[in-house]
């Protein structure tokens, strides 16, 4: 049976997302990122191509690791300037009927109580088409600018994220019961107070005693994306994520990543096939292989060496500006995206700094596939068959041209092969992706908080037992 391939568009509310320097290409529109028409035009194109969604990345901070300066980040618009992603959800939803909208927000820089309200509001206004890409962040500049001084160490950020999720699950799933909102005009009761509960959370990192400010949105908990590829990230994804995003350079690494995430989901008592995996890729496609190759070479002429290393330094936490172009890249400890250096070190080849810059000039950390629709379709199907990945987060070289080429050339070819959807399922984003209900399934950890009063009683009993047991251990 032919496996269906899924696409997201990988975007960001900025100029230079994954292909630094390509903003200077005469057909590129990324400089219009601040105009709502940029986003609505793109959304209409993606929906025509039956994309699962638009996956909007974000960073809090700026890339100042390369040469210990943000000069090249600003000069090349390397994810600065960058606008807030969540505000794009409503205009995109108004221009489309089905397209999912994945919004990135950080557990390091957003307080869970106020963020829960913002996310529920977006889910309401989009009629349940919002997903949240959970990230823990990796830029020291972000931590400094909110007064934290320095970023927490990598695995500790995931410890914070676990409690963050607990707070959100309590707010989304447990604070307002099903049937709490009745809008009974005759009785003059909008909602039953006895069915709206304080969550009573008091943990190591957060204290949130009260009620969720929003009535339940169409999905209650918006669809959950997650993009961590480290050991801690994969464990977190297995417990929480419904869709995961990888940036694996080779099929070997991707196969291991997908297997690890599915194993982590199974260990958490979840159905591993209900975790969709998407790998980063950039597709340069045209009517023929020759035309696609010529387009790729044209794009390469606009790629920025300094812009590429600005990203690579920021993502890895390693200043590649301190090395000569011919120096070999070595594995070093990092507090940023630890999986990036591990991937390079274990890729089966040696990388010079110059080779790294050339590789990252178009598409960032992921592979680039160039060719006719038939050629690229063969490659994608091979990756799916050999790695068990479900789909691809497609970055652009030139926007909206890259996405238009995929929709006009590649999607019809995949549809002819029976390897791509021809229409959307009805319902919320979760229903469209999984064909079941709008809420998280009972096997998900969030389900334990749906009867929040029972959970609080259980938690209080466990606390009393601990107080009784501790003296006897002394």
3-state SS of 6-72 is: EEEEEEECECECCCCCHHHCCCCCHHHCCCHHHHHHHHHHHHHCCCCEEEEECCCCCCCCHHHCCHH
Least reliable range by pLDDT among 130-134, 176-180, 242-246, 350-354: 350-354
Given the structure tokens 């469209």, which residue do they identify? 432
Chain centroid offset of residue 363 CA: 16
Asked whether residue 398 carries a pLDDT value surpassing 70, the answer given is yes
Summarised one tens digit per residue, pLDDT across range 241-282 is 999 999 998 999 999 999 999 999 999 999 999 999 999 999
pLDDT in tens, 461-472: 887 666 666 555
pLDDT in tens, 274-328: 999 999 999 999 999 999 999 999 999 999 999 999 999 988 888 999 999 998 8
pLDDT, tens digit, for every residue of 322-354?
Answer: 999 998 887 655 555 555 666 666 666 788 899
Please answer whether residues 113 and 103 qualify as being in contact, where contact means their C-beta atoms are separated by less than 8 angstroms: no
pLDDT of res. 82: 96
Q: Is the pLDDT confidence value at 120 over 50?
A: yes
For residue 90, the Cα-to-chain-centroid distance in whole angstroms is 18
Dihedral, 39, 43, 45, 47 alpha carbons, nearest 10:
180
- What is the CATH code for 6-308+364-457? 3.20.20.30
Please give the structure tokens belonging to residue 246.
């990888």
Domains of the chain, residue spans: 6-308+364-457
pLDDT for residue 474: 43
Which two structure tokens, joined as six digits, stand for 168? 């959100």
Render pLDDT for 5-18 as a digit per residue (tens, 0 to 9): 999 999 999 999 99
Query: What average pLDDT does the segment 155-169 reach?
Result: 90
Q: What is the pTM of this model?
A: 0.92
pLDDT reading at 473 higher than 50 = no
């Amino acid at each position: 049976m032919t496996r269906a391939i899924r696409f997201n568009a990988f975007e960001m509310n900025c100029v230079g997302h994954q292909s630094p320097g390509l903003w200077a290409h005469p057909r590129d529109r990324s400089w219009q990122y601040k105009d709502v028409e940029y986003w609505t035009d793109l959304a209409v194109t993606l929906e025509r191509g039956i994309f699962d969604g638009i996956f909007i990345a974000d960073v809090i901070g700026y890339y100042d690791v390369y040469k210990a300066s943000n000069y090249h980040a600003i000069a090349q618009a390397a994810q600065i300037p960058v606008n807030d992603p969540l505000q794009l959800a409503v205009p995109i939803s108004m221009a489309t009927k089905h397209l999912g909208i994945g919004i990135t927000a950080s557990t390091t820089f957003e307080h869970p109580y106020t963020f829960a309200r913002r996310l529920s509001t977006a889910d309401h206004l989009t009629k349940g088409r919002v997903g949240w890409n959970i990230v823990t962040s990796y830029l020291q500049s972000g931590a400094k600018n909110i007064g934290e001084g320095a970023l927490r160490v990598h695995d500790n950020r995931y410890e914070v994220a676990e409690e963050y999720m607990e707070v959100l699950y309590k707010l989304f799933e447990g604070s307002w019961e099903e049937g709490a909102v009745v809008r009974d005009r005759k009785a003059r009761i909008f909602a039953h107070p006895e069915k709206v509960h304080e969550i009573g959370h008091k943990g190591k990192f957060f204290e949130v005693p009260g009620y969720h400010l929003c009535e339940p949105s169409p999905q209650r908990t918006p669809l959950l994306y997650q993009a961590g590829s480290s050991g801690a990230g994969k464990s977190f994804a297995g417990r929480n994520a419904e869709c995961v995003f990888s940036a694996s350079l080779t099929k070997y690494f991707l196969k291991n990543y997908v297997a690890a995430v599915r194993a982590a989901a199974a260990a958490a008592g979840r159905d591993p096939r209900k975790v969709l995996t998407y790998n980063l890729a950039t597709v340069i496609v045209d009517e023929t292989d020759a035309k696609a190759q010529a387009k790729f070479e044209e794009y390469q002429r606009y790629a920025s060496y300094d812009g590429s290393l600005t990203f690579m330094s920021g993502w890895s936490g390693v200043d590649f500006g301190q090395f000569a172009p011919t120096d070999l890249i070595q594995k070093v400890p990092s507090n940023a995206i630890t999986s990036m250096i591990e991937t390079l070190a274990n890729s089966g080849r040696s990388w010079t700094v110059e080779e790294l810059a050339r590789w990252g000039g178009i598409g960032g950390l992921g592979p680039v596939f160039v060719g006719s629709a038939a050629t690229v379709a063969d490659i994608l199907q091979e990756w799916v068959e050999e790695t068990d990945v479900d789909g691809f987060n497609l970055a652009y070289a030139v926007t909206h041209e890259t996405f238009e080429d995929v929709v006009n050339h590649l999607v019809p070819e995949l549809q002819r092969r029976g390897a791509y959807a021809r229409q959307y399922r009805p319902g919320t984003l979760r229903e469209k992706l999984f064909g079941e209900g709008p809420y998280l399934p009972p096997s998900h950890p969030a389900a334990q908080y749906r009867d929040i009063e029972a959970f609080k009683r259980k938690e209080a009993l466990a606390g009393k037992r601990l107080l009784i047991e501790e003296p006897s251990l002394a």
